[in-house]
Amino acid sequence: MSIALLTLIILGLSALGYLLGRQRALAAVEGDARKLHSLPSYYGASVFLFTALPAFLTLLVWLIAQPLLIERSVAGMITPADIPAGTTLSLVMSDVQRIAVGTEQLVADGMSETELAALQADPAGLRSALGRLGVSVAETTTPNVLEAAKAYRASASLGHFGMIVAALALAVAGLLISAFRVTPELRARNIVESFIRVLLIGASTVAILTTLGIVFSLVFESWHFFQLYPAKDFFFSLTWNPKFGGGSSLGVWPLVWGTLYVSFVALVIAVPLGILSAIYLSEYASPTVRSVAKPLLEILAGIPSIVYGLFALVTVGPLLRDWLAMPLGLGASSSSVATAGLVMGIMLIPYVSSLSDDIINSVPQSLRDGSYAIGATPSETVRQVVLPAALPGIVGAVLLAASRAIGETMIVVMGAGAAAKLSMNPFEAMTTVTVKIVSQLTGDTEFASPETLVAFALGLTLFVFTLGLNILALFIVRKYREQYE
């Protein structure tokens, strides 16, 4: 019986429980729903929950735990002699698993158990049979491994059977117990409410735990990196020169500098343009202009950043080189901080303008009326009344754009190049933290050398940066909110 079918059966039982619970509640009061503590549907829902939840939870836990337990018991059958030189136990175990799944497939395709037993006694035959299914088995596979696969398959099918029995038993027991518990006094509404509360808590916990998990994995791998590479060099060296043969110098500063420089150029372009266009849209534009211009501006946010990258590579880069960098004698590279910053700034305009526009719109009209009634012009009203009142939100919008700029990768690769450099010249090619994370991890490398593990330390650095920005945003917003409410 497959998991999908089992799920359907449990759901069917639960639906039956719903009808039964509802019907029993109504029957207990002879159809007069006013005498019930809760609405009839709540009685049905409580039986539904008690039928479905225990069964599904068991199913979930079983599905996660079973492979782990089986693997542990089967691993005992593998001796050190079965592990070829240069591989590890976990690689052999994955072979065991593949062979077990493959033989299961042979049975599913119509092979009888006796035929299979004969085949298992003949490694070469088994190998060719599995090969036809696309499961390759190495020549070096020892009989022990085949035995382990056999045991794996046996325990897996036993476990599967146990799981089905347990889940169905729980569903039926839950159905019967909760259905017979239904009386007019049962507080079914409260049961359903507390279930909804637990569901909501669970949903937010998943988000928090995922974040913690990401941070933990970053910290763990970074710690691993600092075991292999001195933290002092990472944080204080001014050169970035990874060599996969060893002897790399992995100073973070050229990358941090490139990140900050490109983000700065992007924000210098995006913040004034974004805020000014938000002011125009919300305070000056007629409803017709606004209804056309705002969606147009928001289309900018929908363009994939790789397209912006192409624009930087093909158009903006050569343009800046030919008209600014070369005449000013500042360089001859079409990849430059200015190119990436300019294009990224254009990409960020809608982030700033759209959010700021919403925030400016939420400033009460009564404040504008008060200002106009004193004889202020629209621009005086915007500058002295509307913007100060909207400032916390606008700061939030800007910092969101800043986080986006710091995390951007594609535009930097195509616009600013991949050379790690410490330079003030905006027409020089530079690179950022994100680009180097990608370039350190792409290619055929293993996660054991400092040259690859440095990616995690870089990721952690980036995370600390954006975290700091977010805390700063919270702080600013809180400070001004106190002042203006």
Partner 1 sequence: MNLMQTPVSDTTALKPRITASGVQVYYDTNHALKDVSVNILDRTTTAFIGPSGCGKSTFLRCLNRMNDTVASARVEGKILLDGQDIYDKRVDPVQLRARIGMVFQKPNPFPKSIYDNVAYGPRIHGLARNKAELDEIVETSLRRAALWNEVKDRLSAPGTGLSGGQQQRLCIARAVATGPEVLLMDEPCSALDPIATAQVEALIDELREQYSVVIVTHSMQQAARVSQKTAFFHLGNLVEYGDTQQIFTNPQDPRTESYITGRIG
Chain residues that interact with partner 1, rule: CB under 8 A: 286-287, 364, 366-377, 380, 384-385, 388-389, 483-485
When the beta carbons of 176 and 476 are compared against partner 1, the nearer one is 476
When the beta carbons of 302 and 375 are compared against partner 1, the nearer one is 375
What is the nearest approach in angstroms of partner 1 to the Cβ of residue 381?
9
Q: Which two tokens mark 93?
A: 């175990």
Q: How many CA atoms lie within 13 A of 141 on its CB side?
A: 24
When the beta carbons of 280 and 463 are compared against partner 1, the nearer one is 280
What is the nearest approach in angstroms of partner 1 to the Cβ of residue 203?
37
Q: Which two tokens mark 196?
A: 């909804």
Q: Are strands 249-250 and 240-241 parallel, antiparallel or unpaired?
A: antiparallel
CA nearest neighbour of 357 among 424, 287, 275: 275
CA 98 to chain centre: 29
Residue 307 φ then ψ, to 5° = -70, -40
What is the nearest approach in angstroms of partner 1 to the Cβ of residue 389?
5
When the beta carbons of 159 and 378 are compared against partner 1, the nearer one is 378
What is the nearest approach in angstroms of partner 1 to the Cβ of residue 394?
14
What is the nearest approach in angstroms of partner 1 to the Cβ of residue 386?
10
Give SS3 for 418: coil
What is the nearest approach in angstroms of partner 1 to the Cβ of residue 358?
18
CA 263 to chain centre: 23
When the beta carbons of 131 and 370 are compared against partner 1, the nearer one is 370
What is the nearest approach in angstroms of partner 1 to the Cβ of residue 410?
41
When the beta carbons of 273 and 367 are compared against partner 1, the nearer one is 367
Give the Å distances, CA to CA, from 325 to 254, 316, 318, 319, 373: 22, 12, 10, 9, 51
Strand extents, DSSP E, 202-264: 240-241, 249-250
Q: Virtual CA dihedral for 198, 467, 306, 269, nearest 10 degrees?
A: 130
Q: What is the DSSP string of 305-350?
A: HHHHHHHIIIIIHHHHIIIIIHHHTS---SS-HHHHHHHHHHHHHH
Q: How many residues does the chain have?
A: 485
* DSSP single-letter state for residue 252: S
When the beta carbons of 205 and 483 are compared against partner 1, the nearer one is 483
What is the nearest approach in angstroms of partner 1 to the Cβ of residue 367?
6
Question: Could you give the CA distance from residue 367 to residue 386 in angstroms, rounded to a whole number?
Answer: 8
Q: Which two tokens mark 332?
A: 């001859």
What is the nearest approach in angstroms of partner 1 to the Cβ of residue 226?
48
When the beta carbons of 26 and 359 are compared against partner 1, the nearer one is 359
Question: Could you give the CA distance from residue 353 to residue 277 in angstroms, rounded to a whole number?
Answer: 6
Question: Could you give the CA distance from residue 485 to residue 475 in angstroms, rounded to a whole number?
Answer: 16
What is the nearest approach in angstroms of partner 1 to the Cβ of residue 375?
4
When the beta carbons of 78 and 359 are compared against partner 1, the nearer one is 359
Strand extents, DSSP E, 221-289: 240-241, 249-250
When the beta carbons of 264 and 372 are compared against partner 1, the nearer one is 372
